[in-house]
């Protein structure tokens, strides 16, 4: 008798609208990057679903915005507690959905989700408004801040729940309601979080999650006349479309976009610490962090020594199955993205660049069930012109280019020589030099002798084509509220 194969079962997600899970007629395949196989069906939402979510958010706004900051903080803290109680489940799911290692999700992504809710639950208590006396007019003037209304939030696939909650937490803490759209490639943890909303005391309609693509669901959301505010993290090209769609409605926009971040390493740097940190800043999360180092400029007198030691350290940065705790990197997000990243390495080679390690040089030893996954080893390139696309365009993968410089002025010029301006790192023991260079670099964030140390009170965002606006602490408070001046004649 012929055996019949058992039908494969998939995880099927549903939109979360008005406090209820709502099924969708159409779905998108979502892949497990570590195996290259479909494992999840994500709603392919459109106008109908977005309209329903916006209507639910509008209905919930009067009651939620009327609650005191303390009452809203209690809900955020409860949600933080619930996510933390399920941290391991969230970490496993984030790894499976995005391709990152379980260890990275467990120690970076999900703890930051918890911290986002806890931080913004109380940050509201520490901001003050302005007051001005005009005694000669017999007037007293002061400012108040009011929630904007329905906030449209769109987050990317690289740090899925981490960046989604970076937007949701301040939006609802300040009294707004939310319609959020995660990336269709990494939707599972957002859906899991929706299961905790009712238990956390989030009223129906305060947080609505719509799953689907940017051109279909996202486009309707950003062009909706009843959504006065959009916070977006993603590509510069998509941000241009969002700006165009939002312009007729004069919406408030916060756009956190790409980066082509330089590391500038002077001869007096602590080389051991520098190499250890720069390997991490170049390759963490498969290089799929907007803050990752993409270009390394090294003072010529130590360039050769640095390159040898850096390549040796990069070769020790292990890539493989995400569940293996000995691996530093897992799989890239998709087959298409892997091919794009590989194309930059091929371009570098065709232009005479030297591929020191990684793609095309070092082979990965993967189990049979993972050989169709989207893996790429840490790749180091030298000998590339500053005008090359490899040095100019965001690659967003485990690829970094290394080049020498001779003077401080040249280092700053090279660092600023791209259209992006998100982040930079500077390595030197000279305090005056690091202050001087940090001031001259065109970047929204500059780390010196460290990387990715974040104080959530401080502004986050980029210059040039790396974005518009800032979020974090007071900046988020200002973005998610409208200021009003009140004058009282007495």
Mind giving me the DSSP string for 249-282?
GT-EEEEE----EEEEE-TTS-HHHHHHHHHHHH
Report the candidate in 309, 294, 301 with the shortest Cα–Cα distance to residue 381: 294
Contact 45, 180 (CB under 8 A): no
Considering the candidates 49, 94, 256, 359, report the single residue annotated as catalytic.
256
Report the alpha-carbon distance of residue 238 to residue 397 in Å, rounded.
19
Are 471 and 256 spatial neighbours (Cβ–Cβ below 8 Å)? yes
Helix (DSSP H) and strand (DSSP E) numbers for the chain: 16, 23
Taking each helix axis from N to C end, the angle separating 87-98 and 188-200, rounded to the nearest 10 degrees, works out to 160
Please give the DSSP secondary-structure letter assigned to residue 9. Answer: P
CA distance 248 to 237: 19
DSSP readout, 79-121?
Answer: HHHHHHHTHHHHHHHHHHHH---HHHIIIIIHHHHHHHHHHHH
CA distances to 212, 215, 226, 242 from 253, rounded to whole Å, are 21, 18, 14, 9
Q: Would residue 256 show up in a list of annotated catalytic residues for this protein?
A: yes
Closest Cα partner for 475 from 150, 123, 165? 123
Show which residues are catalytic. 256
């Amino acid at each position: 008798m012929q055996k019949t194969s058992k039908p494969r079962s998939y995880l099927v997600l549903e939109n979360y609208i008005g406090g209820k899970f709502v099924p969708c007629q159409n779905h998108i395949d979502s892949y497990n990057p570590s195996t290259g196989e479909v494992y999840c069906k994500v709603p392919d939402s459109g106008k109908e679903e977005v309209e329903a979510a916006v209507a639910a958010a509008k209905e919930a706004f009067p009651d939620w915005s009327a609650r005191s900051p303390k009452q809203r903080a209690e809900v955020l803290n409860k949600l933080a507690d619930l996510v933390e109680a399920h941290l391991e489940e969230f970490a496993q799911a984030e790894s499976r959905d995005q391709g990152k290692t379980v260890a990275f999700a467990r120690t970076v992504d999900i703890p930051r989700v918890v911290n986002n809710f806890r931080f913004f639950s109380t940050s509201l208590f520490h901001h003050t408004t302005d007051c001005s006396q005009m005694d000669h007019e017999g007037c007293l003037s002061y400012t108040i801040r009011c929630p904007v209304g329905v906030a449209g939030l769109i987050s990317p696939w690289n740090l899925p729940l981490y960046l989604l909650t970076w937007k949701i937490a301040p939006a609802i803490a300040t009294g707004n309601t939310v319609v959020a759209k995660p990336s269709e490639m990494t939707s599972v943890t957002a859906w899991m979080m929706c299961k905790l909303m009712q238990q956390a005391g989030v009223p129906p309609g305060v947080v609505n999650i719509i799953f689907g693509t940017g051109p279909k669901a996202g486009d309707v959301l950003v062009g909706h006349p009843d959504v006065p505010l959009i916070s977006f993290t993603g590509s510069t090209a998509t941000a241009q479309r969002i700006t165009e769609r939002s312009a007729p409605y004069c919406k408030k926009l916060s756009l956190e976009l790409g980066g082509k971040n330089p590391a500038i390493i002077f001869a007096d740097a602590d080389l051991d610490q520098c190499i250890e940190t720069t390997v991490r800043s170049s390759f963490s999360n498969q290089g799929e962090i907007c803050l990752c180092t993409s270009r390394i400029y090294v003072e010529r007198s130590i360039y050769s020594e640095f390159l040898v030691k850096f390549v040796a350290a990069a070769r020790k940065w292990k890539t493989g199955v995400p569940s293996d705790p000995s691996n530093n990197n897992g799989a890239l997000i998709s087959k298409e993205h892997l091919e794009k990243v590989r194309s930059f390495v091929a371009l570098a080679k065709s232009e005479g660049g030297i591929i020191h390690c990684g793609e095309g040089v070092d082979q990965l030893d993967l189990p049979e069930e993972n050989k169709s996954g989207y893996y790429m080893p840490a790749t180091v390139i030298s000998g590339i012109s500053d005008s090359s696309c490899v040095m100019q365009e965001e690659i967003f993968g485990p690829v970094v280019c290394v080049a020498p410089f001779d003077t401080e002025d040249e280092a700053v010029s090279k660092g600023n020589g791209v259209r992006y301006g998100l982040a930079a790192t500077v390595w030197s023991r000279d305090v005056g030099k690091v202050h001087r260079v940090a001031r001259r670099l065109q970047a929204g964030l500059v780390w010196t002798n460290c990387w990715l140390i974040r104080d959530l009170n401080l502004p986050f965002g980029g210059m040039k084509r790396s974005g518009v606006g800032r979020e974090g602490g007071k900046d988020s408070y200002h973005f998610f509220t409208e200021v009003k001046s009140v004058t009282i004649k007495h």
